[in-house]
Amino acid sequence: MMNQNVIVSDRKAILGSKTVTVSNSPLFSSPPTYFTFPRHKFLELLEAADKNSNNINKNNLGAGKIASWVDSMRDSSPTRLRSSSRDSVSDNDHKASWIVRFPSALNMFDEIVNAAKGKQIVMFLDYDGTLSPIVEDPDKAYITHEMREVVKNVALNFPTAIVTGRSIDKVRGFVKLNEIYYAGSHGMDIEGPTSEYAYGGESNQGVLFQPAREFVPMIEKVYKILEEKTKWIPGAMVENNKFCLSVHFRRVDEKRWTGLAEQVKSVLIDYPQLKLTQGRKVLEIRPTIKWDKGQALNFLLKSLGFEKSEDVVPVYIGDDRTDEDAFKVLRERGQGFGILVSKVPKETNASYSLQDPSQVNEFLRRLVEWKRKTVGEA
């Protein structure tokens, strides 16, 4: 995999710069490298603690550690209403400043497509919160018919991949498209298109890469343990994504978050080969290998023949903390751009923003129209 050593911090430089020098690195390394927000340094501390778990009293989980964990869970919940008008004014000023740094991809559409002229766009799309809305029941995160059609049209005009924390089987069941690449389990399970109508005529590719295959028995075991330990917590849901697990707390009363955190932590102490990350109202349990959505993006670009190309523009659209790994890779490559889907200001490595799946739909629709128009003019 490619491990870039140049970070581009300017938005326009990312769109227009040349290929940067890279160095090769082993697929697996320890410990993994993370993108973290300032309030979530506790995740690194949890992993360090897990490595020394033999010296820990397993019945004493550490009140401070659990409190930090719960604080992070609370931080990932929807923004609460402010009681002070002064706070409201401050929030509005902060959002205005953030929009200047990460402008709407719809408002900057001409700038984006101008940078892509004469180059190959490759699309990478998260699923939950990007193509589908975030819903209370993760099993009901259905994509709309309109969104399915626009993604299909995108896939007919550009190489397209859905990169998600879900299992491939789950997200394919939602999307119902065979023209695209699927990278499930945060990129640890990658399959190619199976349709003859896929971009470039590629079909029947099947499984391309599964770097965490050896962890499947462990994931299965931990899944059963977590199901048993969390079944008494109303609203808690453990999802088996084949190569990783998701503990959803979207429907859990906030008063029970501490209990849920304690149960998850008590299980992870016995499995130092697994690590904890966090998304929107979900705790993610993954193997401790150097693999994430950013690595999956690099792998797919290499598989498509664009590893060292100067004529490629990767576009990644996502809403979650786990998508930051891909945004960061784009900055390190000095190519393409990330688009963060969010209604509230967040620290991000993305270049642009969109507010919700409806705006994602509009952006993708306009991109297809632009491509068809440029082909017609050629």
Question: 38-75+213-287 has which CATH code?
Answer: 3.30.70.1020
Instruction: Note the pLDDT tens digit of each residue in 229-261.
Output: 999 999 999 999 999 999 999 999 999 999 998
Kindly state which CATH superfamily the domain 93-211+291-377 is placed in: HAD superfamily/HAD-like (3.40.50.1000)
- Give me the residues of the chain with pLDDT under 50, please: 1-61, 79-83
Give the integer Cα–Cα distance in Å for 232 and 234. Answer: 6
Same fold, 38-75+213-287 and 93-211+291-377: no
Give the integer Cα–Cα distance in Å for 282 and 154. Answer: 29
Q: What's the pLDDT score for residue 57?
A: 36
Q: What's the pLDDT score for residue 91?
A: 76
Q: Write down the domain spans for the chain.
A: 38-75+213-287, 93-211+291-377
Give the integer Cα–Cα distance in Å for 91 and 43. Answer: 27
Give the integer Cα–Cα distance in Å for 102 and 130. Answer: 17
Q: What's the pLDDT score for residue 144?
A: 97
Q: What's the pLDDT score for residue 92?
A: 83
Strands 245-248 and 282-287: antiparallel
Q: What's the pLDDT score for residue 199?
A: 66
